[in-house]
Structure 1
């Protein structure tokens, strides 16, 4: 009986370990088990992989792996002075299951890509034009700002999950290209998340969190509630 009990305990421990290992693996994009999986919206065609239905690989064409127009400037005339053009699986269906993505960021003079995180991807940024002040903040307990001014041709990496930002420090427009280690990096803009949630977080809670008067919180929430 003792041996049976030990064997059962070992089996349970193995199952728990396997479950934990599986959950850790799925913290990142899973490795593809096929050459290609072009994302389509028609569920009658095939199996779903990574949240997308896959086209029959025999019907895939070069256009499924092609995106054009990333050379075209986007208008950054908004409240923060930046505009992101994503090239994710939704824009480039052939990216599905491949674990990478791309984006162009256009900056107005002194424009900002506000503090944000990508919960599922590390980001690597290359400056094409202009000068950018960039940085990320390490996690608890240090909260250390790691920052640098980048010029044309410079590259900077933002570790997965950490709050980071980019700001144009020049009086002319700036452009950067970012690569991501996921087909769907995710985006959490700190200001929008904290002050623009629907329904809003209690101003009392935010006043305590930020150590300010509730009137200050109300004013900020009102700005984030306005149409952008």
Structure 2
């Protein structure tokens, strides 16, 4: 038994494997449980405050024990999808895999090729109607995929809009002026030219650089007054 109230240093007996087994019921109930919550649970049960890294590692090990590892899940995916198609007629599955690395460079993730694959299949199997609006962030890979779409995701077949919440976050990252974020959002939600001009002028008065940054986005992509009702 520990004689001090809280142990803050690493405990040799409570390694990540031991903790993983102890928190297994928690992970089974809620796989998305936060690491901080695990630290609190362990402290309550063992009177020991573990490091964030050890708690994170324990959670990963526990998830693997309950649900299987990432490799096992990946290998099971084609089988699972084939069963889904059998049980749900009309479902369409298309899988395209590539090596994780191209030489020494990582090749998967939100690449232009991955987005192009997604948009091609989305247009082919889901969004067949023209005149639709698509809302996304301004990721360069998405822009590249839209440009490669052969007009499938460009006017008049589709109208590409930018999420104002993402623009708001990008603005804060660029200028570190949280007190101006609401004004940027108001510009995006301006429904008339008059309303837009008023909000834009307010931002410009606080700094021309702020207004120029917003102008460079392209008004029809994020300001309601310029989206022609789309």
Which TM-score band applies after superposition, normalised by the shorter structure? under 0.3
Query: What's the TM-score once normalised by structure 1's chain length?
Result: 0.25
- Bigger-Rg structure (1/2): 2
Question: Which structure carries more strand by proportion?
Answer: 1
Higher relative contact order (CA 8 A, sep 6+): 1
